[in-house]
Amino acid sequence: MTNKNDVNRKVTLKESRKNETRLENSVLYYSKQLTVSELSAILKIPVSKILTFLFMNKKILNLNSTLDDDTLMLICLNFNIDLKKEVAKDALGAFDLEKDQPKDLLPRPPVVTVMGHVDHGKTSLIDAIRKSRLTSKEVGGISQKIGAYQISYKDSLLTIIDTPGHEAFTAMRGRGAAVTDIVVLVVAADDGVMPQTVEAISHAKAANAKIIVAINKIDKPGKDLDKIKQQLMKYEIIPEEYGGENIFVEISAKQGMNIDLLLESIVLLSDTMELKANPNRYANGVILEAVLDKGEGAKATFLVQNGTLKTNDYLVAGSVFGKVRRMTDENGRVVFEAKPSTPVSVIGLSDVPQAGDQFISLSNEKQARDIANQRQQEKNRLEMNKNSISTFDDLINPKEGLENLNLIIKADSSGSAEALKGAISSIKHDKVKINFIHVGTGNVTNSDLILAATSKSVIYAYYLRPDSVIRAKAKEMKVEVRVEDIVYRITEEIESIVKGLRPKEYIQNITGVAEVRKLFKIKGLNIPVAGSHVLEGVIKRDQKVNVIRDGVVIQKNKRIASLKHLTEDIKEAR
């Protein structure tokens, strides 16, 4: 079925490219999911061998089972085959869209994100901007908090992203979405530049957004504006009065002071950026938020970045199919179309997409369903790879010299995470800035990998053992996960890196992995015996072992008291 509600909009999706599955120089190139028997044929490894391996890894499959990406990766790791996913561009990440002709482009409003250190007044500013622009017409509407809103200032429209802080921003970028044109960097006058201010600057720069500095809380005593300007110059945020290009505005979000001046500055800056889009094509853009609403089902805020989204358009959002049944603006009012830079809340999706997913609208239902199906089978790896570092070596020895060392710390408890962070912070160095992109507890997760890939960070996993799937993913995404249980080795390594030296390698020599299947007691022995099954390598009688539960090391460096097979003492178990 084709949506006939308009004939003027161009359909802009390119034909997808088909790839063949093949094995070349021990690299398996694939683009679609394979069954066990297909894989066996391509790799020339007997089905029985693959199935046995899977069985040992607690996956009971048959020759017709389709392999998901993680399982395929596991198999390839085991048989020493590199894996390379080739994807038709429209199968993940960005859709393969036609470019616009310059003559089709019209000005569009800027998309503005407010960032800065916690408590410096981001939320207050977002609210103050919204309030300052409420027209009498809008007062009637009920403000909906859909993730973004639009205001008009004089004759210009501005789109303000409603989520302060850089987490949302990073998550978006992690998924390949660049939504922001302008970052308003909020710095509290009484507090100055703080760690998250600096992080915000890095994120804004990495995303190629322009930065306007809003020095907030100027109503408070004890401010030193010159000092803040000096501090910011270290990060190449230089006020116009010093010959730089960054606009500084002194505001009070709480008292609504100079909000207009800030808006004026945003408009001025965006004019110089010549932001343009083509409203006469089917829409594409980014999902800002998505929820499952009890009454209305899957509901998402779409930020249209190009084209026009209309009611009854078919959609692919991430890997979700949909049709625009109803669109509402941030005041809860129904709208029938959304032009470039407009945020709208959309109902009519078959499932909940993820924030940061890209969407396209289409005229053709079948095409939309096909693409959604295809994408559903794919993982969003393309975008992850794009921003990721190439190797640990490149990261610590970049061509232009290392300026920032971004770290993600994961540890078994918040106490040890903070302790490690403290130890790293006390490392003396003058050239390299160490940034803590994230400090958290619990094992390394997929989202840690995404964050690391996009922020070019090294992950330190302290007292943790990332499982084989995460390790394989990290390898594929070229994220360095350093597993270590000794603080000084980590600090020593970082010290070497910031000095530009090659860190010493401490290789954890893991000879084998076994799984504890059952604890049982035997007569005359007070402690239970761990009935175990060797999964990898060899476990030796005279070795020390770590006990890992849910990826966390719960017992460290324990000697094996005795090793038996049935009743017989053995030296090693394979």
Residue with structure tokens 């981001």?
122
Return the SS3 of 173: helix
> Residue 23 carries which side chain, given as an amino acid letter?
L
Q: For the packed helices 195-206 and 166-174, what is the interaxial angle rounded to 10 degrees?
A: 30
User: For 439, how many CA atoms within 13 A lie in the half-sphere containing its CB?
Assistant: 16
- Indicate whether 572 belongs to the interface with ligand GDP (CB under 6 A): no
Residue with structure tokens 């616009």?
100
Task: Name which position in 219, 260, 370, 480 contacts ligand GDP (CB under 6 A).
Answer: 219
Minimum gap (Å) between residue 129 Cβ and ligand GDP: 12
Say how far apart CA 304 and CA 324 lie, in whole Å: 13
Minimum gap (Å) between residue 259 Cβ and ligand GDP: 10
Minimum gap (Å) between residue 127 Cβ and ligand GDP: 8
Task: Name which position in 119, 480, 484, 495 contacts ligand GDP (CB under 6 A).
Answer: 119
Task: Name which position in 170, 252, 308, 363 contacts ligand GDP (CB under 6 A).
Answer: 252
- The stretch among 117-125, 293-301, 342-350, 542-550 that binds ligand GDP (CB under 6 A) is 117-125
What does the block give as tokens for 205? Answer: 């720069």
Minimum gap (Å) between residue 251 Cβ and ligand GDP: 7
| Pick 163 or 284: Cβ nearer ligand GDP | 163
Site for ligand GDP, residues 385 to 414, rule: CB under 6 A: none
- Indicate whether 33 belongs to the interface with ligand GDP (CB under 6 A): no
- In sequence order, which residues have a C-beta less than 8 Å from that of residue 46 and are 6 or more positions away? 40
Q: For the packed helices 47-56 and 69-78, what is the interaxial angle rounded to 10 degrees?
A: 110
| Pick 114 or 407: Cβ nearer ligand GDP | 114
Task: Name which position in 175, 217, 421, 456 contacts ligand GDP (CB under 6 A).
Answer: 217
- Indicate whether 192 belongs to the interface with ligand GDP (CB under 6 A): no
Contact between 315 and 324 under an 8 Å Cβ cutoff? The reply is yes
Burial class (CB in 10 A: 0-12, 13-18, 19+), 274: exposed
- Indicate whether 334 belongs to the interface with ligand GDP (CB under 6 A): no
Minimum gap (Å) between residue 510 Cβ and ligand GDP: 43
- Indicate whether 353 belongs to the interface with ligand GDP (CB under 6 A): no
Buried b (16+ CB within 10 A) or exposed e, 137-168: ebeeeeebebbbbbbebeebbbbbbbbbbbeb
- Indicate whether 166 belongs to the interface with ligand GDP (CB under 6 A): no
| Pick 202 or 308: Cβ nearer ligand GDP | 202
Q: For the packed helices 446-455 and 166-174, what is the interaxial angle rounded to 10 degrees?
A: 90
- The stretch among 212-220, 240-248, 422-430, 517-525 that binds ligand GDP (CB under 6 A) is 212-220
Minimum gap (Å) between residue 34 Cβ and ligand GDP: 48
Residue with structure tokens 């660049």?
178
Say how far apart CA 451 and CA 438 lie, in whole Å: 9
Say how far apart CA 13 and CA 270 lie, in whole Å: 29
Task: Name which position in 122, 281, 410, 478 contacts ligand GDP (CB under 6 A).
Answer: 122
**Which own/partner contact pairs does 43-46 have at CB distance under 8 Å and 24+ positions apart?**
43/79, 43/81, 45/79
What does the block give as tokens for 447? Answer: 């989202």
Minimum gap (Å) between residue 232 Cβ and ligand GDP: 17
Return the SS3 of 405: strand
Minimum gap (Å) between residue 119 Cβ and ligand GDP: 4
Task: Name which position in 19, 66, 123, 543 contacts ligand GDP (CB under 6 A).
Answer: 123
Task: Name which position in 216, 306, 345, 388 contacts ligand GDP (CB under 6 A).
Answer: 216
Question: How many CB atoms within 10 Å of residue 57?
Answer: 15
| Pick 201 or 494: Cβ nearer ligand GDP | 201
**Dihedral of the CA atoms 477, 479, 480, 483 (nearest 10)?**
-80
- Indicate whether 254 belongs to the interface with ligand GDP (CB under 6 A): yes
Say how far apart CA 411 and CA 313 lie, in whole Å: 47
Could you give the string, one character per residue 125-164, with x where binding to ligand GDP holds by CB under 6 A and - elsewhere? ---------------------------------------x
What does the block give as tokens for 283? Answer: 């829409």
Minimum gap (Å) between residue 481 Cβ and ligand GDP: 31
- Indicate whether 113 belongs to the interface with ligand GDP (CB under 6 A): no
Minimum gap (Å) between residue 150 Cβ and ligand GDP: 21
Minimum gap (Å) between residue 180 Cβ and ligand GDP: 17
- The stretch among 112-120, 283-291, 415-423, 478-486 that binds ligand GDP (CB under 6 A) is 112-120
Say how far apart CA 506 and CA 330 lie, in whole Å: 54
Say how far apart CA 454 and CA 474 lie, in whole Å: 13
Task: Name which position in 3, 71, 113, 124 contacts ligand GDP (CB under 6 A).
Answer: 124
Minimum gap (Å) between residue 216 Cβ and ligand GDP: 5
What does the block give as tokens for 485? Answer: 């249980």
**Closest by CA position to 160, among listed 173, 147, 171:** 147
Burial class (CB in 10 A: 0-12, 13-18, 19+), 357: buried
3-state helix, strand and coil shares in percent for the chain, rounded to the nearest 5? 30, 30, 40
| Pick 12 or 252: Cβ nearer ligand GDP | 252
- Indicate whether 120 belongs to the interface with ligand GDP (CB under 6 A): yes
Minimum gap (Å) between residue 113 Cβ and ligand GDP: 13
| Pick 260 or 370: Cβ nearer ligand GDP | 260
Task: Name which position in 253, 304, 384, 490 contacts ligand GDP (CB under 6 A).
Answer: 253
Task: Name which position in 27, 41, 106, 118 contacts ligand GDP (CB under 6 A).
Answer: 118
- Indicate whether 260 belongs to the interface with ligand GDP (CB under 6 A): no
Binding site for ligand GDP (CB under 6 A): 116, 118-124, 164, 216-217, 219-220, 252-254
